[in-house]
Amino acid sequence: MKNFVAGAWIDKPKKIEVTNPFDNSVIDTVPRADAGDLEKALAFAERGAKVMAKLSSYERWKILRKAADMMAARNEELGQIISKEEGKIIAEGRGEANRAVETMMGSAEEAKRLHGETVPLDADPTGSNKLGFTLRVPCGVVAAIAPFNFPLNLVCHKVGPALAAGNTVIIKPASDTPLSAIKLTEILLEAGLPPEGIQCLTGSGGEIGDALVADRRVRKVTFTGSREIGERICRTAGIKKVTMELGSNSPVIVMPDADMEKVATVLAMTGYGNAGQTCISTQRVLTAKKVYSDLLSALKPKVEALTTGNQLDEKNKVGPMVKESEAVRVDEWINEAVSGGARLVAGGGRRGAIYLPAVVADVHPDMRISRDELFGPAVAVTPFDTIEEAIALANDSIYGLAAGIFTDNVEWAMKFAREAEAGNLHVNWGSQWRVDLMPYGGLKDSGFGKEGPKYAVNEMTELKMVVFHLNS
Q: Which stretch binds ligand NAP (CB under 6 A): 173-181, 302-310, 381-389, 455-463?
A: 173-181
From residue 420 to residue 459, the character string flagging contacts with ligand NAP as x (rule: CB under 6 A) and all else as - is: ----------------------x----x------------
Choosing from 156, 279, 373, 459, the catalytic residue is 279
Q: Work out which of 31, 140, 247, 319 binds ligand NAP, going by CB under 6 A.
A: 247
Kindly provide the residue ranges of all beta strands, DSSP E only, lying in 21-106, ordered along the sequence. 26-31
**CB neighbour list of residue 305: distance below 8 Å, 6 or more residues apart:** 268, 317
From residue 206 to residue 225, the character string flagging contacts with ligand NAP as x (rule: CB under 6 A) and all else as - is: x--xx--x----------xx
234 counts as catalytic: no
Site residues for ligand NAP, window 32-61 (CB under 6 A)? none
What is the closest distance, in whole angstroms, from the C-beta atom of residue 127 to ligand NAP in the complex?
Answer: 41
**CB neighbour list of residue 348: distance below 8 Å, 6 or more residues apart:** 331, 334, 356, 358, 360, 378
Q: Work out which of 105, 179, 229, 255 binds ligand NAP, going by CB under 6 A.
A: 229
Pairing of strands 241-245, 220-224: parallel
What is the closest distance, in whole angstroms, from the C-beta atom of residue 210 to ligand NAP in the complex?
Answer: 5
What is the closest distance, in whole angstroms, from the C-beta atom of residue 247 to ligand NAP in the complex?
Answer: 3
Cα 57 to Cα 52, 67, 112, 186, 467: the distances in Å are 10, 15, 6, 22, 24
Choosing from 245, 373, 451, 459, the catalytic residue is 245
Site residues for ligand NAP, window 255-294 (CB under 6 A)? 279
Grouping H, G, I as helix, E, B as strand and the rest as coil, residue 131 is strand
Pairing of strands 343-346, 358-361: antiparallel
- Taking the least distance from each CB to ligand NAP, the nearer of 59 and 210 is 210
Count residues near ligand NAP (CB under 6 A).
Answer: 32
Burial label for 413, CB within 10 Å (0-12, 13-18, 19+), is middle
Grouping H, G, I as helix, E, B as strand and the rest as coil, residue 351 is strand
What is the closest distance, in whole angstroms, from the C-beta atom of residue 294 to ligand NAP in the complex?
Answer: 30
Of 464, 451, 467, 463, the residue nearest 161 (C-alpha): 451
Partners of residue 308 on adjacent β-strands: 318
279 counts as catalytic: yes
CA 300 to chain centre: 29
* Interface ranges with ligand NAP (CB under 6 A): 145-149, 154, 172-175, 204-206, 209-210, 213, 224-226, 229, 232-233, 245-248, 279, 373, 375, 401, 442, 447
Residues carrying an active site annotation: 245, 279
